[in-house]
Amino acid sequence: MSNDASAKWRPWMLVGLSFLALALAYSTRAVFGLVMPLLEQDLGWSRSFTSSIAATALLMTAILAPLGGRLVDKQGARAVTLMGMGFLASGCFLVALTSHPLAFLLAFGGVAATGFGLVAIHVISTAVEQEFDSNQGLATGIATSGSTAGQFVIVPLLAILLAAYSWRMAFVALGMSTVLMMFFVMRWFPRGSRLHRQTESTHGSATSFAHDIWTIAKLPAFQILFWSFFLCGYTTSGVIETHFLPYASFCGFGPVSSATAYGLLSAINLAGMIGVGWLTDRVNRPLLLGGIYIIRGLTFIVLVNVGADLETLFVFAIIFGLVDYSTSPVTASLVASHIGVRVMGLAFGLISAGHQVGGAAGAYFGGLLFDLYAHYDWVWWSSLWLAVLAGALVLLLRNSPRQALAMS
């Protein structure tokens, strides 16, 4: 292949491999919700404890998000992705081997969660923004849609493994798939980044980690995006990713039906992320993002009224899927334009950390409220109002920053 052809296809190779890497990482996160009732049944753990494992994983992801983002800014995404997938595979194998609560917490909430923090949307979004000169929204939407695309294939397959074998076999399968994926990333993932090579020659001295964090944190746009994404985390990673499948089980639906509904949500999510990515390049972005949050909030009214009706559960999955992870490409675009591409990894990493902390709060309080009241109604109503609040926050942003950014 000629150098010109290689340069042409290099960014799209990044998009394809990123799609697959995120598919595995986010499917591993999602399957924990599927096995929560089985862990409680087989090992005698409470819903509060299993929820605390999910919350710990999200907090660990939050801690690592800025560090992973900083590494992408400086080194590109290849090294960060390989490191993250190594931790992810190791965590899956350790989970499959243990029955001790502390060991399980460390394996999933520590080792595997390190992988979640490095093989993450903000890392991939930054890599795409660094490589593409045009159609960044569409490319980001396609690459990051892997975070949901694998789930509508992988999670139902894992449900079949759960029914035929055990939850341990599901984690073994995920670990083996991740090891295989590492080979493809090592072989074909682009080394470094185009932006990194350019900034090496144009910026003589790099600013410090602490200096960049302080400069970013003072920007009003950062504060708006951080707190809206915090609330986003509560209403997605926290309550839906952790409690949707246990809620379906609570309503009386079996593992295969529940996983099929979650798979449908993920399939629609794929279309939502790519569609919103396309729109990001063409419409008013704060208005788009605010509308997504408000519509998401209203979907919880459907979820409260599921009862024992599987069709209503599927209706929720379809509507929520359109406004679930679709916040990611438009948020990434706003980070790039309002904070700057040069520090996008760090800035989006900090914002993603807020998302994971919000997710941890949703995961933990969802389990706590269920233990206290023996139902999920308070969880869903709180999610409705927090999503609407996130929408109101982002509507305070302008579509374009008032002046050029020094951090670009």
At 194, the pLDDT band (50, 70, 90 cuts) reads low
**Residue 406 pLDDT:** 44
pLDDT over threshold 80, residue 261: yes
Residue 346: partners with Cβ closer than 8 Å, 6 or more residues away: 66, 69, 70, 73, 209, 212, 213, 216
Predicted TM-score (pTM) of this structure: 0.81
Best-predicted range by mean pLDDT among 112-116, 155-159, 166-170, 264-268?
112-116
Give percent above pLDDT 70 in the chain. Answer: 92
Q: What is the mean pLDDT of residues 53-66?
A: 86
Residue scoring higher pLDDT (352 or 266): 352
**More confident: 188 or 184:** 184
pLDDT at 324 over 80: yes
Q: Supply the pLDDT for residue 218.
A: 92
Mean pLDDT, residues 228-246: 90
With a pLDDT cut of 90, the percent of the chain lying above it is 42
pLDDT digits (tens, 9 = 90+) for 11-25: 788 888 899 999 999
- CATH for 11-196+213-394 is 1.20.1250.20
The pLDDT tens digits for 345-395 are 999 999 998 988 898 888 888 888 888 887 888 999 999 999 999 999 999
Picking from 269, 283, 181, 286, the residue whose alpha carbon sits closest to that of residue 225 is 286
Predicted confidence at residue 206, as pLDDT, reads: 62
Residue 109's pLDDT is what?
93
Span 271-312, pLDDT tens digits: 999 999 999 989 999 999 999 999 999 999 999 999 888 899
Report phi then psi at 207, rounded to 5: -80, 160
Average pLDDT, the chain: 86
198 pLDDT band, cuts 50/70/90, is: low
What is the model's pLDDT at position 249? 85
If pLDDT is split at 50, 70 and 90, which confidence band does 404 have?
Answer: very low
CA 276, 282, 286 angle in degrees (round to 5)?
A: 65
**Residue 269 pLDDT more than 70?**
yes
Please tell me the distance from the alpha carbon of residue 247 to that of residue 321, in angstroms, as a whole number. Answer: 17
Contact between 281 and 139 under an 8 Å Cβ cutoff? The reply is no
Minimum mean pLDDT among 174-183, 210-219, 261-270: which range? Answer: 261-270
pLDDT for position 204:
45
Distance in angstroms (rounded) separating the CA atoms of residues 174 and 193: 29
CB < 8 Å & 24+ apart, contacts of 209-215 = 209/70, 209/346, 212/343, 212/346, 212/407, 213/66, 213/346, 213/350, 215/343, 215/407
Give yes or no for residue 87 having a pLDDT over 70.
Answer: yes
How many whole angstroms separate alpha carbon 261 and alpha carbon 333?
30
**What's the confidence (pLDDT) of residue 192?**
64
